[in-house]
Amino acid sequence: MIPARSSFFLASLLAICLFAAFCPAEADQASFFGALDPVFPTGQLRLGAYAHDPMSPEKGSADINAELLLAKLNLFPGQVWDVLIPRAQLGGTFNFSGKTSFVYAGAAWTFDVYKNFFVEGSLGEALNNGDVGRNVPSDRNPVGCNWSFHETGSLGYRLNADWSVLATIEHYSNAGLCVRNRGVTNYGLRIGHSF
């Protein structure tokens, strides 16, 4: 088994290498998508590494996260309602040590805060590969069921028009709708590239 610090470093390095290798080229922006979004006028591809639930039985390992954030639909051009329109997100968080991993889909809201800083929140659904039986091993979280709610909160900084970095907390749990509900909370850094 790889030590936690080494696996977190390896996950970060792998995320950066994959991101550099598969970074999308610039694309023409359709007028219907994102014309008024000051933070990300188009979509964004994100990659990063998380410390895997450091306050739980599953602590001591690392995850890699990949996410596609689509452009915001320009439904209310020039109106105050525009800030309420979310962007669709698809992604996954994958553990390197056989602990709980998941894929998710949801909606994200991004708000410019000050100069290049922004905040972002998301809400959606996830499917996980966690332990849901009665006899969960002591080093695994009793997640209750293989579906869950997925939420994230991020503080981001735009390095330039194309690149950004985000400090992110993500959580998923079943909100008490299954017999058990330990959930998983991950912390980490991601980089994003607009396309």
Q: Write the pLDDT tens digit of every residue in 161-191.
A: 899 999 999 999 999 898 888 889 999 999 9
Give CA–CA dist 72/108, Å, rounded: 10
Number of other residues whose CB lies within 10 A of the CB of residue 135 = 6
Give pLDDT tens digits for 88-140: 999 999 998 999 999 999 999 988 888 899 999 999 999 999 888 778 888 88
Residues 61, 52 contacting (CB under 8 angstroms): yes
pLDDT for res 122: 97
Read off the pLDDT of residues 18-30 as tens digits, 9 standing for 90 and up: 444 444 444 333 3
Question: Which two tokens mark 9?
Answer: 């470093």
User: Which structural domains are found in the chain, ordered by start?
Assistant: 4-25+38-194 (2.40.160.20)
Contact 148, 174 (CB under 8 A): yes
pLDDT at 70: 93
